[in-house]
A and B are shown apart, each in its own frame.
Chain A
Amino acid sequence: MAVSFVALLNPAAGSDNLLSFLLSLVWIAFLMIFFLYPSLGQRMQLSYMLRDLERKLQRLKLIRDEINQVAVDTIKRVGKPDSDPSKELERLSEFFLIQPESMDPYGLVFKLEHILETGETTYEKEVAAIAPHATETQLKTLTNLVEILRGINTLYRVVRHYYLLGRKTSNIYMVLQIQMVIPMLIEIAESYRQAAVAFSKGQPIGDGVGVLVAAKLADGLEKTRYEIAKDTIVQEIELEGRKVYVIRAAGPGGTVGRPGEAVKQLVEKLPSNPKIIITIDAALKLEGEESGKVAEGVGVAIGGPGVDKYKIEELAKSRNIPLYAFVVFESITEAITPMKESIAKAADVVLARVKKLILEKVEGGEIAVVAGIGNTVGVGG
């Protein structure tokens, strides 16, 4: 029996070879499967993509949980609440703002401003309630920290939504789209993770470079200072006979202030129009560009929802005031994580260029307005 079986496996036996026959059968079976079930390949690919997405979704969840823990620990340490703030934080991480209706665009900017201001005030009050012993400065930074938690929570929920929807409907194109962007989303989430620690300790972040330049400009030259809009101060200085009004968010708590409203209020109160308005901000660099590179141009260098930018542009247009801007390039990660050396040193470069521009464009006795834009966490003065 054994002898005859070995003979069947012998290739020399030609068509009587059993092994050859079995292999042919397997190949035919494979061909039939792919012929009768053409979407099998796509299903296999979908299954692979879903597994990959699931791992990355798990990574996002870990980052979210870590940020949540940082927020809870910081609020307990700084705010000394009577009860555990976890439940309240969970509620605040689901807080939302509804964009105004844009079918009729008239007055849209002011409607958006109203909603943003209401949201900001409400959020600050909610954070103050769960951190009763925090100082005003700490409260602003804590509010930023809770906003980071809200950001990562939204990111996680959106990715989970597309993952579950793609799995439920077996829609490879939906899964493909989220799989294509997930590396960038993970990078943003990692930035949030580092930003949470920076805010929990009150460290200056890359976005604060504009405020840092403004603070350095006024340092040692300040004649008077006053609050002109919520969380926003004006420092009056004199630079070789030129009157310079320096506007920035009041630090060292984490806030961006209201630079648009501040510039508007200031210019409307001045006896004569300023000769120039200069804005300084951080800007997103392109891949391959070095961090801390300084560039200058015209216009209003302010990111965000556009309310502040709109106000300064409107004002400058109506009064025919030239707008100059300086930006320091950095990545999205660098903007929200502790300030790097290259960015901190760029502040001195911008400072020298701002002074040069003022001396060139503004005559003695005339007025210039300089607005440093960004989050002022860790920057006092």
Chain B
Amino acid sequence: MSEPALVFGPRQREKYPQPLTFLKCSTCGTENSRPFREEDYVFKVVNSEKCPKCGGSVSRIVNIYVPDRKEPK
């Protein structure tokens, strides 16, 4: 018999990978990340988010990627 659990079971369905957006503050150069939002793209200048370190309102998206899973030791 085949293994129907492998075909229909919940393990087979991978969740959609959730990328992070990395923003660099134009004032202090601090890089911080947050979950990806629609209309984000690399090199986009964002004026609507405050830098958590210096409070600067202008930052730039420098990277968008899905973080690698850390393998358990």
Contacts and interface: CB of A to CB of B under 8 A. Distances in A.
A interface, over-half SS: helix
A219 B43 contact: yes
A194 B16 contact: yes
Contact of B66 (A338, A378, A381): A338
A115 B5 CA distance: 44
Given A203-B64, A204-B41, A381-B43, A55 B36 contact: no
A59 interface: yes
Interface string B62-73: 011111100000
Given A202-B38, A203-B36, A59 B8 contact: yes
Given A55-B7, A203-B36, A339 B43 contact: no
B65 A337 contact: no
A379 interface: yes
7 contacts: A52-B2, A215-B43, A338-B66, A339-B19, A339-B64, A341-B68, A344-B64
Contacts of A122: none
B54 interface: no
A301 interface: no
Interface residues of B, number: 24
Given A339-B65, A341-B67, A215 B42 contact: yes
Nearest to A345: B65
B43 A379 contact: yes
A340 B68 contact: yes
A378 B16 contact: no
A251 interface: yes
A58 B12 CA distance: 14
Contacts of A371: none
A133 to B, nearest CB: 15
Contacts of A381: 42-43
Nearest to A63: B13
Given A55-B2, A203-B36, A344 B41 contact: no
Contacts of B39: 202
A19 B66 CA distance: 67
Interface string A351-381: 0000000000000000000000000001111
A190 interface: yes
A300 interface: no
Nearest to A194: B16
A56 B8 CA distance: 9
B4 interface: yes
A118 interface: no
B38 A378 contact: no
A378 B68 contact: no
Contact of A378 (B2, B4, B17, B42): B42
Interface string B17-52: 101000000000000000010111111100000000
A142 to B, nearest CB: 13
A42 interface: no
Contacts of A176: none
A379 B42 contact: yes
A380 B43 contact: yes
A341 B66 CA distance: 6
A197 interface: yes
A59 B7 contact: yes
Given A215-B42, A251-B41, A379-B42, A343 B7 contact: no
Given A338-B19, A340-B17, 17 more contacts: A48-B2, A190-B14, A194-B17, A202-B38, A202-B39, A202-B40, A203-B36, A203-B64, A251-B41, A252-B41, A338-B65, A338-B66, A339-B64, A340-B66, A341-B67, A341-B68, A342-B68
